[in-house]
Amino acid sequence: MRVPHVTINGASIGGLATALALHSKNLVPNLHINILDKNPYGNDGVGHGAGLNLQPHAVKMLDEIGLMEEVVASGWAPMNQQYFTNNGRLILNHPRGLNANPHGYPQVSIQQATLHDILERAVEDRLGPDVIKRGLEGLSYTQDEGGVNFVCKDTEGNRFNICTDAVIVADVLHSGMRKAVRQVHDNSESGLIKSGLNIYRGTALVDKVLDGHTVVRAGRSEGKLICYPLEAPKLVKNPDGSLGQKQMLNFVVEVSEESPPSGIFGSQDNLADHIASKLEGLNGDFRLPFLDHRKMLHEADFLKVSSMSVRDPLNAWCDGRVVLLGDAAHTMDLESSNVASSPFLDAAEIASVLEQKFNKSPLKSRQEICKPFQEYEEARLPTMVSVQQTFQEMLPEQVIDRVHNEVPGEGPIPKAYGECLLQALTKCQAGNKSGEKKTTKGLTTPAAFVNKNIVANFSPIERVLLAANGSLQRTISAMTNNDVVVKPVMTFQRSNQFLDREVTLHLGSEDGPCAVTCKTTVIPRNNDIKSRMLSQEIGIGQLVTERRKAGKGEPEFKLLACGKQRNGFLSRQYCLDFPGEASFMIHEEIDLDVLFQKALKIGVHKEACTNLEFLNKRKVNGSYLCIEGIESNVANLQRQTVRL
């Protein structure tokens, strides 16, 4: 049997890393590899462009393929990531790279084109100068027992077929090959939903920022600046003749706007003024004592704009002998710092499963290459779905926005907010570790309710309330033997991506005692849900009922935090996820006094209040239990943390 032919569609960072990973596993003698690159000139003549961050797990993979030293020498190693308010007050200093783990691998900031050049040269040196086929792009495919018939086109638009044994699709989100794989799986992905955010990118030579090793994130969720150095500080002569330390800074500005005003792209100064004004306006003010953002924007080497969109994760990457990798498989949030790192983990995993296959026995038929592809999907897809969904919940953004709302002014930020932000970041970043597998299907039951510490602090009836999964209204109605009326307070469209919604639950009638206040951030996944929520046609309860009738099952319930406030209110913060429809981040405060004492005055059966004496005995005034996520009202609560 001849050596199987594997075609990598896309000379992207992920595609090049995959070829190098296969070579490092000594698989090239067992596989014939070709890489298709739609760019006829490769990376030649392309400016250095925007930067990217490589997390330590990606640098570890670079070490395994023998490129770590060259990459580290060509970039710069951040040691901290610091989160600031719009006026430069520090919320959290998060150690990164070697500062977080002195015996591990560094985090590396590097210009994208520089990293691409290093990988491309290594591929041509190790696999041969002809392994990259320039000016060719894969469009679609069919497959049978004989292999994959791969439809390609060249730079002049001519189409032709390539016959190969397997295809690794490592190109981009909007590629024809990705679309073809997706359609095999019943079009299992929602369309793009514009988030209402525009992203402006650039690089600029600026005065050294802070210690020169820090990633900076400043501002609210709807108007923020993220920046980090790409090189070591260097001495530069200032206009007045003095010497100063300068660094090349990569920056990203995210602002809430439908689209940039027409006419501002003819002049970089006009565009810079527009970006700065939006950043300042959305924050009420924007000023950092260590960085002149207006000067940075005006002196940028370039400014590029793109729109941010929300897309649900794919539920399959593999179709027989064709498999997705990198950006084609998963889109990552910029703030996750995994945009460039995740393709390296994909490449390492696919090389690992192929190595295991060839080490056990040679391929008896070229069709057997399908099994390693399936094993790669099983190893990486659940992890990446978890990471994508967690970042779509925007837990860190919610903490940061709370800081701006709850701690205005110029004073220092209470330490508790930084601890909350760290917990949210840890939750978001925990999933993207090589080899870690997570389940993403089925109803998630909070471990809190089997944890002895939490059981000790909440009565049984309180745990019933805390565990209500989109059914709190019915639960309270059953407990009190009375009608419970939902009263809408407001629904506000904060941006294309977010709706803010507040309702209250009343016993007996709209004018009855208020038992629950519920504040929700809604992330719609389709325009139908968005319009129905805005018109107050449906709420969470109606959406749950509709899903049950349609046989779609229960929403995924994740309890993030729960506790008792000094005023006796029971609080919880949780997420309800309706795949393909909407996600809800919900904060509820339940008035136990109304529920069990005033309820008696409006005709609730006494038997419904038999837990009252027990409940009062169990009350832990001011305690707060933080569960895998962020807590609420930290400034007003004494904290008692339970790690699960």
Given a cut of 70, whether residue 627 has pLDDT beyond it is no
More confident residue, 147 or 392: 147
Q: Can you list the pairs that 482-489 forms with residues at least 24 positions away whose Cβ atoms lie under 8 Å?
A: 482/507, 482/508, 482/599, 482/602, 482/603, 482/604, 483/507, 483/508, 483/509, 484/515, 485/509, 485/510, 485/512, 486/539, 486/541, 488/536, 488/539
Q: Spelled out in words, what is the top-level CATH class assigned to the domain 447-636?
A: alpha beta
Let me know if the fold of 5-191+311-395 is the same as that of 447-636: no
> Residue 73 — φ and ψ, nearest 5°?
-65, -25
The helix (run of H) or strand (run of E) holding residue 452 is helix 452-457
The pLDDT score that the predictor gives to residue 629 is: 32
65-107 pLDDT per residue, tens: 999 999 999 999 999 999 999 999 999 999 998 888 887 899 9
The pLDDT score that the predictor gives to residue 534 is: 84
More confident residue, 284 or 558: 284
* Mean per-residue pLDDT over the chain, rounded: 78
The pLDDT score that the predictor gives to residue 402 is: 87
Write down the residue that tokens 């003549």 correspond to: 45
Q: Which of 231, 228, 232 is nearest to 214 (CA)?
A: 228
Q: Which of 57, 30, 12, 54 is nearest to 349 (CA)?
A: 57
d(CA 347, CA 324): 11
More confident residue, 444 or 7: 7
Q: Which stretches does DSSP call E strand in 208-293? A: 214-220, 223-229, 234-237, 243-256
35-62 pLDDT per residue, tens: 998 887 765 434 446 888 899 999 999 9
465-483 pLDDT per residue, tens: 887 876 788 888 877 778 8
Given a cut of 50, whether residue 632 has pLDDT beyond it is no
d(CA 248, CA 251): 10
Domain ranges across the chain: 5-191+311-395, 193-310, 396-429, 447-636
What is this structure's pTM?
Answer: 0.68
The pLDDT score that the predictor gives to residue 614 is: 37
The pLDDT score that the predictor gives to residue 59 is: 93
The pLDDT score that the predictor gives to residue 45 is: 38
pLDDT average, residue stretch 552-562:
77
User: Cβ-count burial of 601 within 10 angstroms (0-12 exposed, 13-18 middle, 19+ buried)?
Assistant: exposed
Given a cut of 50, whether residue 611 has pLDDT beyond it is no
Return the minimum-mean-pLDDT range out of 95-99, 258-262, 292-296, 410-414.
Answer: 258-262
Q: What is the Cβ-side half-sphere exposure of residue 410, based on CA atoms within 13 angstroms?
A: 3
Q: Spelled out in words, what is the top-level CATH class assigned to the domain 5-191+311-395?
A: alpha beta
pLDDT band at 634 (very low <50, low <70, confident <90, very high): very low
SS3 of 370, please? helix
Topology annotation, domain 193-310: D-Amino Acid Oxidase; Chain A, domain 2 (3.30.9)
Residues 252-277 as b/e (b if ≥16 CB within 10 A, e otherwise) read bbbbbbeebeeebeeebeebbebbbe
483-541 pLDDT per residue, tens: 889 898 888 776 666 788 889 999 888 888 899 999 888 888 788 888 888 887 888 87
∠135-141-142 over CA atoms, to 5°?
Answer: 150
The pLDDT score that the predictor gives to residue 213 is: 92
141-164 pLDDT per residue, tens: 888 888 888 888 888 888 988 888
Cα-based distances in Å from 355 to 22, 255, 628 = 8, 45, 36
Given a cut of 50, whether residue 631 has pLDDT beyond it is no
221 and 399 in contact (C-beta within 8 Å)? no
d(CA 333, CA 327): 11
d(CA 42, CA 296): 31
The pLDDT score that the predictor gives to residue 451 is: 36
The pLDDT score that the predictor gives to residue 555 is: 82
241-268 pLDDT per residue, tens: 888 889 999 999 999 887 777 666 678 8
Strand order in the sheet with 582-591: 484-493, 499-507, 514-524, 582-591, 569-578, 556-564, 624-626
The pLDDT score that the predictor gives to residue 453 is: 38
More confident residue, 498 or 113: 113
pLDDT band at 604 (very low <50, low <70, confident <90, very high): very low
The pLDDT score that the predictor gives to residue 268 is: 86
Given a cut of 80, whether residue 406 has pLDDT beyond it is yes
The pLDDT score that the predictor gives to residue 39 is: 84
151-201 pLDDT per residue, tens: 888 888 889 888 888 899 998 777 778 888 877 765 544 455 556 788 899
pLDDT band at 312 (very low <50, low <70, confident <90, very high): low
Token duo for residue 572: 């919880």
Token duo for residue 545: 């009922």
Q: What is the DSSP string of 376-408?
A: HHHHHHHHHHHHHHHHHHTHHHHHHHHHHHHS-
Q: What percent of the chain has pLDDT over 70?
A: 78
The pLDDT score that the predictor gives to residue 80 is: 92
Q: Which of 470, 490, 488 is nearest to 543 (CA)?
A: 470
Q: What percent of the chain has pLDDT over 90?
A: 25
More confident residue, 517 or 606: 517
